[in-house]
Amino acid sequence: MKSKNDFTEETRELFFWNKECWWCKKSHANCLHHILGRVSNSPLNVAPISNFDCHIGNGKLSQYKVRKKFLKKTLEYLLKSEYVLTKKDKEFESKYSRYYN
């Protein structure tokens, strides 16, 4: 069964070379986490993370301060990678602007 708001192949490719887990900073990221849940498949909603060590069962990932940190890090990562924000990305950023301020 295909999940709602899975990340596109293009989004996966944006993070392909990043192995840093944004939770623990170790070099073992092996999945992409929906920072705000499956509200959007925008690359802005992505945090590379280690699935078994840092993701599964980690309730702290839904804390406001963690989400804010991840969203800012994602934006910085994408802009540093010369990614050009799409209309969908800009709408995501506007809708969740409270995390970027």
Q: Calculate mean pLDDT across residues 34-59.
A: 95
**In which domain, by residue range, is 33 found?**
9-99
Instruction: Report the pLDDT value the prediction gives residue 6, as an integer from 0 to 100.
Output: 87
Do the domain assignments include residue 71? yes
- Please check whether residue 92 is in contact with residue 45, taking contact to mean a CB–CB distance below 8 angstroms: yes
Q: What does the DSSP assignment read for 35-97? A: TT-TT---GGGEEEE-IIIIITT-GGGGSHHHHHHHHHHHHHHHHHTTPPP-HHHHHHHHHTG
Do the domain assignments include residue 89? yes
Per the structure block, which two tokens stand in for 12? 């996966």
Per the structure block, which two tokens stand in for 2? 């295909």
Q: What is the pTM of this model?
A: 0.91
Do the domain assignments include residue 23? yes
Beta bridge partners of residue 48, listed in sequence order = 32
In total, how many domains does the chain have?
A: 1
pLDDT tens digit sequence for 48-97: 999 999 999 999 999 999 999 999 999 999 999 999 999 999 999 999 99
pLDDT tens digit sequence for 1-32: 355 568 999 999 999 999 999 999 999 999 99
Do the domain assignments include residue 16? yes
Q: Quick count: other Cβ atoms within 10 Å of Cβ 52?
A: 10
Instruction: Report the pLDDT value the prediction gives residue 11, as an integer from 0 to 100.
Output: 95
